[in-house]
Amino acid sequence: MITITKNEEVVLNQIKIFKIEYPEGIPLGVLRKDLGFHEYDLVQILGELEDKELVIFKDNKVSLSEHEKDINTVNSKKDVEELELNMKEKESYDLIKDLVDDKNIISKYTLEGHLLYGDLKLSNFRMYHIILSLQNKGLLKLINKDDGEYYLLVE
């Protein structure tokens, strides 16, 4: 599921309307004129949509990507970040459940390594934010043992 803002949804819907009229790609000027967005804002929105692999933006022309995706629309970028963080939290929690031993314990450094360099490829900031969030929710607890720091998965 891909999450987009209301403005991104407006632009995406307009691209869908224009795709028949401009099969080789919709000129940026046509979109800008029809939507009434400032060019800078429109380019930013198109960049976001391209990052989410919903459109192809090249040589000042826009076309839809060929991939069908489930799209969820929210009001603002902050809502997108919160929703994505919640999704990343869930993915991280599922990963932690797979990694813990039979006592629900995992080494702090092993967990951090899997979050940073595993399939999720989180940034340092996001990794620590997710770990802290899971701790605040009572799902993860930092424990100290004689041989180092560990996390206990609370179920």
Digit-coded pLDDT (tens) for 118-133: 888 888 888 998 898 8
- The candidate with the shortest Cα–Cα distance to 33, out of 18, 23, 16, is 18
From 78-82, 86-90, 113-117, 147-151, the region with the lowest mean pLDDT: 78-82
Rounded Cα gap, residues 141 and 117, in angstroms: 22
Q: Say which DSSP state 154 is in.
A: -
Phi, psi of 148 (to 5 degrees): 140, -170
The mean pLDDT of 64-74, rounded to a whole number, is 77
Phi, psi of 54 (to 5 degrees): -100, -30
The mean pLDDT of 7-26, rounded to a whole number, is 90
* Structural domains of the chain ordered from first start: 2-72 (1.10.10.10), 76-153 (1.10.10.10)
Name the 3-class secondary structure at 8.
Answer: helix
Q: Which residues pair with 4 in a beta bridge?
A: 73
Residue with tokens 């963080």: 85
Helices 124-136 & 108-117 angle (0-180, nearest 10): 130
- The candidate with the shortest Cα–Cα distance to 63, out of 15, 30, 20, 6, is 15
Rg, C-alpha atoms of the chain: 21
